[in-house]
Homo-oligomer: A and B are copies of this chain.
Amino acid sequence: MNQATFLRNAWYMFAWSDEVLAAPFARTILGEPVVVYRNSAEAGDLTALMDRCPHRFAPLSKGQLVNGNIECPYHGLQFNGAGKCVHNIFSSAVPAAAKVKTYPIQEVDQALWIWMGDPALADVATIPLIDYHHARDSRWVSGLTTAKADYRLLSDNLMDLSHTTLIHPGLGGRDYMPKVRSWEQPNGDVVASFTTENMNNFFGEEVIPAPFVRHCDTIRWSPPSTHYLASQTSHVGSEEAVVSIYSAHILTPETPTSTHYFWSSTVPDGFPEEVIRETLIQAFDREDKPMVEAVQVRMGDAELWDLNPVLLPSDVGGVRMRRKLEALLKAEHAQANACAVESATSS
């Protein structure tokens, strides 16, 4: 398990917009310390820099903003949004070599997305879009939890929702007995669906006036680690949803064995926001996270395939996701090596 398990040329969610206010905000992404700040509150311009001054390696995030530039808290060098040193408080001579690594960062629909790889490849059009984040007047709640586990174990967990049966009694529990299907979309996204034709009405009859319901979860993985889930509940025998809840599960590796898990969910008409929020915090923080962290402990630093996992039919989506991710990692490493060779032979 090493940093070669991360795709670098990809957008990763960095934070929810309301986490990054006036002050510099620090978070570790793919093992690198990053500081993000808004150059001006009105414009909302964002800067993302490595959170390490090139002078004496102090954390810039502990500094303040001066005229839209970030000032190192140790000896006062000031850097602009391009990572260039623009002011030395002690001297008119600005050190030309003082340059901080910058990262492309974008704010889209209340979320900040960062690109940790080659900036030349960062195409804003490829930022994952969550439709209900974008929709006017949609009601949704969001949160974040950081788990001590490889991000791929959290993806595995999402791509096999049959764990609901054992782990999430409040989401159906033992009644959740899905038929599982999976396919790859033309764009390379991987989808898995989980349909239970007849289960106890876990919403209660004041929501759906019937003792039993049909429930279908359809989750779509977009590389490297964004998951979009449509949870649709209908009358038994019907595919027309009476209650639909959409949710996003966006994983950003902090280190090889820890992951920022950003989540959001729509709030259907008639539901209080707090009920949905509490249900999801219960599911993610208190049910999923301890299990996935326990799996990480049991796996130690072994790669999944090296442990020869026994596969079940419900693993179909997760395995397809893993294979796709491995192909993307292999392609990225091949490209990196090719560039290294080219650079070596042309010099």
Contact = CB atoms under 8 A, between A and B. Distances in A.
A207 interface: no
B310 A75 contact: no
A27 B307 CA distance: 21
A85 B160 CA distance: 20
B295 A57 contact: yes
Interface stretch (A88-96, A120-128, A252-260, A262-270): A88-96
B33 A312 contact: no
Given A310-B54, A310-B55, A295 B74 contact: yes
A165 interface: yes
A298 interface: yes
A141 to B, nearest CB: 26
Interface size class of A (residues with CB under 8 A): 35 or more
Contacts of A99: 310
Given A56-B295, A57-B298, A57-B307, A312 B75 contact: yes
Interface of A is mostly: loop
Q: How many copies does the complex hold?
A: 3
Interface in A65-92: 71-77, 85, 88-91
B90 A313 contact: yes
A311 interface: yes
Contacts of A166: 71-76
Contacts of A107: none
A57 B77 CA distance: 49
A90 B314 contact: yes
A67 B62 CA distance: 55
Given A76-B165, A177-B90, A58 B298 contact: yes
A167 interface: yes
A165 B295 contact: no
Given A75-B163, A166-B75, A55 B309 contact: yes
Contacts of A72: 166
Given A52-B298, A75-B160, 18 more contacts: A51-B298, A54-B310, A55-B309, A55-B310, A56-B156, A56-B309, A57-B295, A58-B294, A58-B295, A58-B298, A59-B294, A73-B291, A74-B163, A74-B167, A90-B162, A91-B313, A93-B313, A97-B310
Interface of A: 33, 51-52, 54-59, 62, 71-77, 85, 88-91, 93, 95, 97-99, 156, 160, 162-163, 165-167, 177-178, 291, 294-295, 298-299, 307-314
